[in-house]
Amino acid sequence: MADLILHQYADSPFSEKIRALLGYKGLAYKSVEIPAIMPKPDLTTLTGGYRRTPVMQRGADIFCDTALIAQVIEAHKPEPSIFGGPRPAQAVAAARWADSEFFRSCVGLVFQPAAVAANPRFKDPSAVESFIRDRAAFTAGSPGLATPLPRAQAVFREHLSNLEKTLDHHAFLGGDSPDIVDFSNWHCCWFVYRQPVLRHYFDAYASVSAWLDRLQVFSVEPMATVISGADAIEIARNSQPEVIDKPQIDPLVELEAGATVQVLPTDYGFQAVIGTLLVVDDKHIIIARQDEQVGQLHVHFPRYGFEVALAGDPA
Ligand SMILES: N[C@@H](CCC(=O)N[C@@H](CS)C(=O)NCC(=O)O)C(=O)O
C-alpha cells in the first residue's frame, strides 16, 4: 500500500491530533509543510479546493477531515486500536464534541488579546493582518471559529474539571490506553497549553496535566520524512486511485453515480470541491477529479459534517 502523506503545518491543532495519533500507532509517514494561509497551490491541486488542515494523501487518494483521517490510519494499522472501546457511540459523540465546541472555546482562549500580544507568531503586524484577512475569507458565511471569551473560558473550565474527574481514575480518557476521545481532546488542550501565558488555565488540574505529559510523548518523536508539495504531486501523478469495492449511492440524496457534484463542509470553510460522484454511503462521500497536472484523483470526505449536491446548486 502507498505511503501515508500528511499535509500539515506545525502550529495547526488538527494536524497535531494526527501527528500524535501517527506517533501512538508507531507509523512512519511522509509530511508536507503547507502554508497556514492561502494560497496553498500544491494542496488545492490535490484536493480540488478544500483548504482546511490537515489533509492525508495515499497515492492518488486524498482524505479530507481528521475524523476520516483517523479512520484511515486505524485501517492502515489496526493495533493498538483507538476505536475498539466498549462504548463506541459515546466515544464518537465525545470526539465530535471536542473537535467542534471544545475546539471553538480553545480558539476563543488562544485569540484573546493578552495571548495574541504574547504570541511570537503575531509580532509582525503585517503577518497579523494577512492572517485576519485570510481567516475572514475562510469562515465567510459561518458563525466563525472562536467562541467569545467569557463563554469560551466557562466551557473550557467546565470541560477541564470533567476531564480531571475521569483522569483522576484512569491514565487516559479511553481507559488504560488512549482512544479517539483522547486525541480529539489532546489537540485542543495542546493549542492552549503550549502558550506559556495561557498555561495557568491548567493549574487546578493535576491529572489533566499528567495526561498531557503522557500524550506529549507520542508527538515528540515525529516519524515523518519531510517531502515537498511538488514531490507529493509527483507521487499522485504516478499513482492510480484505489479501486472502490462496492460503490453505493444513498438513494435519499437523489443523485446518480457519475453526476457532477460539489462537496462542502457543513460548519465552516465553505470552499467547494467539484467532481464526479462515486460514493455516498453512511460514512463516506467520494468523488473523482481529473486534474490537468496530476491526472485522476479520488477525494474522500466523511459523510458526517459534509454535504453533497449537484454542482452549482445553492448550499
Ligand atoms: N473538521 C476539520 C477541522 C480542520 C480545521 O479547522 N483546521 C484548521 C487548522 S487546525 C484550518 O483548516 N484552518 C484554516 C487553514 O489551515 O487554512 C478536521 O477535523 O480536519
CA 295 to centroid of ligand 1, rounded, Å: 26
User: How many other C-beta atoms lie within 10 A of the C-beta of residue 14?
Assistant: 21
Q: Which three cell numbers stand for residue 161?
A: 474539571
CA 222 to centroid of ligand 1, rounded, Å: 20
- Distance separating alpha carbons of residues 132 and 268, to the nearest angstrom: 15
CA 169 to centroid of ligand 1, rounded, Å: 32
- Distance separating alpha carbons of residues 71 and 301, to the nearest angstrom: 11
Q: Is the CB of 52 under 6 A from ligand 1?
A: yes
- Taking alpha carbons only, the member of 146, 158, 65, 53 closest to residue 104 is 146
Residues 80/23, Cβ–Cβ less than 8 Å: no
For atom 14 of ligand 1, which residue has the closest CA?
52
- Taking alpha carbons only, the member of 58, 4, 55, 56 closest to residue 26 is 4
Q: Strand, helix or coil at 39?
A: coil
For atom 6 of ligand 1, which residue has the closest CA?
52
Q: In this predicted structure, what is the pLDDT of residue 122?
A: 87
Q: Is the CB of 36 under 6 A from ligand 1?
A: yes
Residues 257/277, Cβ–Cβ less than 8 Å: yes
CA 126 to centroid of ligand 1, rounded, Å: 22
Ligand 1, pocket-test mutation among 6, 9, 12, most atoms within 8 A of CB = 12
Walk me through the domains of the chain, giving residue ranges and CATH numbers.
Answer: 4-79+225-310 (3.40.30.110), 88-220 (1.20.1050.10)
Residues 46/57, Cβ–Cβ less than 8 Å: yes
User: Exposed, middle or buried, 5 (CB in 10 Å: 0-12/13-18/19+)?
Assistant: buried
DSSP 182-219: HHHHHHHHHHHHTSGGGGGGGTT-HHHHHHHHHHHHHH
pTM score above 0.95: yes
What does each of the 315 residues of the chain score in pLDDT, given as a tens digit? 789 999 999 999 999 999 999 999 999 999 999 999 999 999 999 999 999 999 999 999 999 999 999 999 999 999 999 999 999 999 999 999 999 999 999 999 999 999 999 998 888 989 889 999 999 999 999 998 999 999 999 999 999 999 999 999 999 999 999 999 999 999 999 999 999 999 999 999 999 999 999 999 998 776 899 999 999 999 999 999 999 988 999 999 999 999 999 999 999 999 999 999 999 999 999 999 999 999 999 999 999 999 999 998 765
CA 14 to centroid of ligand 1, rounded, Å: 6
Q: Of all atoms in ligand 1, which is nearest to the CA of residue 34?
A: 16
Q: Of all atoms in ligand 1, which is nearest to the CA of residue 15?
A: 10
Q: Is the CB of 65 under 6 A from ligand 1?
A: yes
Q: In this predicted structure, what is the pLDDT of residue 314?
A: 63
Q: In this predicted structure, what is the pLDDT of residue 169?
A: 97
